Structure formats: C-alpha cells, structure tokens
C-alpha cells in the first residue's frame, strides 16, 4: 500500500483546501454539519442527507459515484459538545470507504485529518513523524480504533516495514474488553511464532485479564522492551518485557518482511 505523489497532494495542499472549505461553509447553517469531498485539490460542498444533521453527516453513495479521483471526504463539527477530533465512527467510515477524512470544527476553529494509508495516525498534530524511527511510535495519544494498542501495531509495521497487517471493527469501548474477546488479526499476513522463539519486532497478543483470549497487543523492541498503548486517553509507551507481560502473552506473530536478527 504505497503512497504516490498524488496521494500525498492532500497534505501538501492542505492550507488551500482548508481555506476553500471555510469559504464554502461561510454562509451556511452553523447548526448543521456541512460535508463534501476534495477532488484534484478542489473542495466540493455536497448535501448532508443525515436525518440528524446537527451532529452527523451522510453523503449519498449515488452522489459520490458521480466523481472520480476523490482525494478525501471532509465534514464539520458544529457544536461545542462535539470533539475537535474525528470520532470512532468517522475513523471506521474512513477505513470502510478507503478514503482519508478531514474534519473542521467550526466552534473551536481546529482541524483533524486521518489517512488509513499513513503510519502516522495524527499527521496534522505530528507533522515531523519519522516512520522509520521507533521513537515516533512512543508517546502517541491513544484513540479508539485509530491509535489504540492494535492500531499502534498496524502503524508500526506499516511505517517500519511497509506492510499493512490489516484492521478490524472494534467492539464498543465502554464494554472493552468483553469476556473471551480475541483480536481477529488477519492470519494471512502474520506467521505464528512459538513463545520461546520470539524475537525483536514480533507482535504479541496479551491477555490482560488472564486466560487464553488476547485483548491487548504490543511489539517487541530491542533490549527486551515492549511497545504498546495501554489506555484510551493515555499515550503509547515502552516497558520492560518482564514476567508480568510474558506470563500473559498468548501468542506471537511475525511478518515475513522484517529484518533478521
């Protein structure tokens, strides 16, 4: 899943696109979310057909089908009770549509951008992110479905090795982890590794509650460290891969294109 110059043009031209969107919505109803797309660097305003347009948006697939080469979908948040970041449903919609999402919060005057093809989950907040540097994956804010523990593993492999290990729809955050939940990783991307054969840059599935169901994930780093993200609202960190984590590790996973050690 490599990015070409056209794919990156949305970030390179972001300032112009932001100004275009502000102009498009300047005389619109501020109590309704506005939405549209970007095509060839031009922001286009489209109808919001969601029945609860004050807090949601919906663009008809029939309207989207009229356009070629859509670079991203954009929409606004228009109430101070809404977050200044893309929500979990936004992130899931981006993944399903295979299109980046751009958000403008009209009350807070803040922007957010997400592209599932980028190893950087917050390209607007951390523009100096180096995908080949382990340090870039430490201290990343945890956001459900975007940069949680499983997403962090995906971002790491995408940035370090250019391999997309896939993703999956999360269960509701307020009930996570449910009993017997097991991460549905794509077995065609990973090779299973015995726990006594783990090496640097292997992924590990961990049962935080004990048992045999992996509801947490991490990446093994040099010097017997583990990179993981423990909680929503927290930040990713590296810890010693000691007895606590080893005893709760259910399985190891390896991608074939990582370097040998």
> Tell me: the pLDDT tens digits for 95-108?
999 999 999 999 99
DSSP state, residue 111 = E
Task: Choose among 16, 110, 17, 97: nearest CA to 57.
Answer: 97
Q: Is 98 helix (H, G, I), strand (E, B) or coil?
A: coil
Asked if residues 180 and 213 have their Cβ atoms less than 8 Å apart, the reply is yes
- Residues 221-231 pLDDT 10s: 999 999 999 87
Share of the chain above pLDDT 90, in %: 73
Does position 91 have pLDDT exceeding 50, yes or no?
Answer: yes
Q: Which helix (H) or strand (E) holds 7?
A: helix 5-12
The region of weakest confidence among 7-11, 75-79, 99-103, 113-117 is 7-11
Spatial strand order in the sheet of 42-46: 42-46, 35-39, 70-77, 101-105, 110-114
Q: Considering just the CA atoms, what is the radius of gyration of the chain in Å?
A: 20
Question: Model-level pTM?
Answer: 0.90
DSSP run (H or E) holding 104: strand 101-105
pLDDT for 8: 60
pLDDT band at 188 (very low <50, low <70, confident <90, very high): low
Structural domains in the chain, CATH included, are: 5-114 (3.40.140.10), 134-254 (3.90.1720.10)
Mean predicted confidence (pLDDT) in 247-256: 92
Average pLDDT value for residue range 150-175: 88
At residue 232, the pLDDT reads: 74
Q: How confident is the model at residue 48 (pLDDT cuts 50, 70, 90)?
A: very high
Q: Which two tokens stand for residue 115?
A: 């592209």
6 Cβ contact list (under 8 Å, min separation 6): none
Is residue 5 scored above 50 in pLDDT? no
């Amino acid at each position: 899943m490599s990015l070409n110059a056209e794919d990156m043009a949305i970030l390179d031209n972001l300032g112009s696109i932001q100004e275009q969107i502000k102009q498009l919505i300047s005389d619109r109803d501020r109590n309704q979310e506005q939405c549209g797309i970007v095509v060839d660097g031009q922001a286009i305003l489209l109808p919001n057909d969601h029945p609860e347009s004050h807090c949601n948006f919906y663009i008809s697939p029939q309207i989207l089908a009229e356009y070629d080469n859509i670079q991203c979908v954009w929409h606004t948040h228009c109430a101070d009770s809404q977050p200044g970041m893309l929500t979990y449903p936004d992130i899931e919609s981006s993944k399903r549509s295979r299109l980046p999402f751009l958000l403008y919060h009209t009350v807070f005057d803040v922007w957010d951008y997400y592209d599932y093809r980028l190893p950087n989950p917050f390209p607007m907040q951390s523009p100096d992110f180096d995908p080949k540097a382990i340090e870039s994956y430490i201290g990343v804010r945890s956001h459900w479905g975007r940069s949680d523990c499983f997403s962090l593993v995906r971002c790491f492999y995408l940035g370090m090795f250019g391999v997309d290990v896939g993703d999956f729809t999360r269960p509701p955050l307020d009930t996570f982890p449910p009993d017997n939940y097991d991460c549905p990783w794509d077995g065609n991307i990973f090779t299973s590794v015995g726990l006594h054969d783990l090496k640097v840059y292997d992924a590990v599935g961990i049962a935080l509650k004990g048992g045999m169901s992996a509801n947490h994930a991490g990446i093994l780093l040099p010097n017997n460290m583990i990179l993981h993200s423990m909680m929503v609202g927290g930040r990713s960190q590296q810890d010693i891969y000691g007895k606590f984590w080893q005893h709760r590790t259910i399985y190891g996973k390896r991608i074939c294109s990582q370097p040998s050690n």
